[in-house]
Amino acid sequence: MLAQEMKQQEQQLLNQADETWVVSEAERELLLLDSPGKNIQIISNIVEIREPTTPFAARADFLFIGGFLHPPNIDAVLYFVNDIYSLIVERLPGVKFYVIGSNPPAEIVALGSTNIIVTGQVPDVRPCFDAVKLSIAPIRYGAGVKGKINQSMALGVPVVATSLAIEGMSLSHGVDVLVADKAADFAQCLLNLYQSEDTWNRLSQSGLEKAKSLYSPEVAREQLRRLLAADHLSHACRTISIFPANEVRASAS
């Protein structure tokens, strides 16, 4: 019922606006299904690009990052620990899994142990990314461009993710990230990345370049400059609607 009401509200906004901004191609295509021909532009989220300085051999462990007021992050960590983690520690004894993010609920805090470190919010996540070999995004539901993924890529840290986690991000398995949806496959991807310096270096560099081309401040600045230019505004639009990804996807469900 709520999703249907939200969809009706979105449709009204689409009809009233000359131009609509969304965060990814996936949201754009979703809106165009019901509103073909509408003027829908993409403005994605923005991440700081920073070349990694810690080499593969000096890194260890892996992390998940995400605020826990967002339910998909709770589900992702519980799914990973319950279904995947045991397949990892058999091959990587002593490896540590860092769970970083604000407002961890009791069920996440309870996971804490010698090798599962629930940090809560940290003031600066960059030292964490500088130390680990990879980050994970075992997301099973949700919508929009995942900041946890493009942030990790922007810092040169490769990602193992589900296909849902990379939806709308123009990323490819084995090129920019490693993607797996089954628990055993996810574990194998993580192990391969963790143990192969060649794979790590290749994904680190390609992920960094993809983040530069899609999510850097320079790219966003140029897109905003184009969309807010006088000639675009005079020809394309007078009224702009901006849809967060979670609203677009919720109304479609």
Global pTM reads 0.85
Residue 241's pLDDT band, with cuts at 50, 70 and 90, is low
Question: DSSP 3-state assignment of 242?
Answer: strand
Question: Is the confidence at residue 236, as pLDDT, over 80?
Answer: no
Tens-digit pLDDT profile for residues 153-165: 999 999 999 999 9
Which phi and psi (to 5°) does residue 98 adopt? Answer: -95, 130
Q: Which of 151, 194, 160 is nearest to 80 (CA)?
A: 160
Pairing of strands 134-137, 240-242: unpaired
Residue that wins the pLDDT comparison between 39 and 116: 116
Note the pLDDT of residue 45.
86
Question: Is the confidence at residue 245, as pLDDT, over 70?
Answer: no
Question: DSSP 3-state assignment of 112?
Answer: coil
Cβ neighbours around 253 below 10 Å, total = 9
Q: Which of 21, 6, 14 is nearest to 243 (CA)?
A: 21
Tens-digit pLDDT profile for residues 65-111: 999 999 999 999 999 999 999 999 989 999 999 999 999 999 999 99
Domain boundaries in the chain? 2-46+216-252, 56-215
Both tokens assigned to 101: 């993010």
Return the minimum-mean-pLDDT range out of 65-69, 124-128, 219-223.
219-223
Note the pLDDT of residue 250.
38
Q: How far is CA 131 from CA 48, 56, 110, 135, in A?
A: 18, 9, 24, 11
For the segment 181-202, the average pLDDT, to the nearest whole number, is 98
Cβ neighbours around 222 below 10 Å, total = 11
Which phi and psi (to 5°) does residue 118 adopt? Answer: -95, 105
Are the C-beta atoms of residues 249 and 143 closer than 8 Å to each other?
yes
Angle at the Cα of 50 from the Cα atoms of 122 and 134, rounded to 5 degrees: 60
CATH architecture of 56-215: 3-Layer(aba) Sandwich (3.40)
